[in-house]
Structure 1
Amino acid sequence: MKNMIDDPTRVPAGVVTYRRISGLTLIEVLVALIVLSVGVLGLAGLQITSLQYSQSSYERSIAVMQANDLVERLWAGLCDPDADFFDDGNVNVDEDPIDAIKDAWENDHTGLPNWDATLDDDSSPMIQLTISWDSRVDDDETESFEHYFRLPRIDC
């Protein structure tokens, strides 16, 4: 009978052999790296999209604040003794007082890039205010915001 120590095919119990150490091959590491990089690129794309929507929301918020500011200025101008906003009982947006208030309002606001505002009273008694601007997210896109309001006929 052979001695167990002399037989290289038999390992005695409790002896650890270091012949077959298992580990990762280079291909497995490369595949794991590719999977990880695809995941990181996906997260980067989500972050960019999130920033774009955040910028668009910020611009729309500025447009809403500008619209509310104009409406408040027009309401405050109703009691101006020199202003005559009404023509035959309806508001006329082409009257001088409204133009003067709108011009002052346009000069006070610079938050949106290349913005423009129009007042339209075709849908009397409602007045339509449209604010349009160039989007900072997409250079070829123009965004707009429409706000409808009415000016009451009051005696001051």
Structure 2
Amino acid sequence: MQKMNLQQGFALLEALIAMFITAGVLLGLGVLHIKSVQQSALTTQRTIASIQANDLIDRMWASVCSLDNSTGQPDMTKVNAIKTQWQNRWKVEDNESDFVEELTSDQIALHNRMNGWSGNLEIVDATKRRYKITIQWENKKAKWYEANPADKENFIYHFSVPKCEV
């Protein structure tokens, strides 16, 4: 009589299990890579929003001595003029703005990453010269955006400027 080998077919089963484990690991790495790319895009957008906020803060600091009216409070006309200048600087839509000619191709590429951009400046406390910058944009690559396109990414920054001492 011939003896039966109990190990027969075991190598095939081992190979099959190893293939399933390898496929699962590769699938997990693919998902991890996609999430990493999404977060990298969001980080880039938040960095651009930070640059935009700092641009407005620099404009406010450069005009610190001309911001006050005769009562020593921030003059809304001057603050709104700075805000409008800043908004026009960063709101380039489809390269239709006259300002586009002054931008480099790299700067235009940065602008184009901020779809649906809007920026606002609010006075939080006029006596203490505290302001709030709110920057919003669409992040169409985010999964939640597909569910509710009305939602936008927000970047909020609070700052204050000193009273001008002449």
Using structure 2 for the length normalisation, give the TM-score: 0.67
How many residue pairs align between the two structures?
135
Higher relative contact order (CA 8 A, sep 6+): 2
| Matched ranges for 1:4-153 at <5 A | 25-79=11-65, 83-86=66-69, 88-92=71-75, 94-95=76-77, 97-109=78-90, 110=111, 111-124=113-126, 125=128, 126-138=130-142, 139=145, 140=149, 141-153=151-163
Distance 2:135 2:82 in 1: 16
Distance 1:155 1:147 in 2: 25
| Shift in alpha-carbon separation, 1:73–1:57, aligned structure 2, 3 A | same
| Shift in alpha-carbon separation, 1:51–1:37, aligned structure 2, 3 A | same
CA contact (8 A) 2:123 2:131 kept: yes
CA contact (8 A) 2:121 2:131 kept: yes
Shift of 1:77: 2.3
Using structure 1 for the length normalisation, give the TM-score: 0.71
Q: Which stretches of structure 1, 4 residues or longer, exceed 6 Å deviation after superposition?
A: none
| Shift in alpha-carbon separation, 1:84–1:123, aligned structure 2, 3 A | closer
Give the RMSD, CA atoms, in angstroms.
2.8
Higher-Rg structure is: 1
Instruction: Point out where structure 1 has 5 or more consecutive residues left out of the alignment.
Output: 1-8, 10-20
Shift of 1:155: 4.8
Instruction: Point out where structure 2 has 5 or more consecutive residues left out of the alignment.
Output: 91-110
Question: Higher helix share goes to which structure?
Answer: 2
CA contact (8 A) 2:67 2:74 kept: no
Q: Secondary structure of the equivalent of 1:98?
A: helix
Q: Percent sequence identity over matched residues?
A: 30
Shift of 1:145: 1.3
| Shift in alpha-carbon separation, 1:85–1:116, aligned structure 2, 3 A | farther
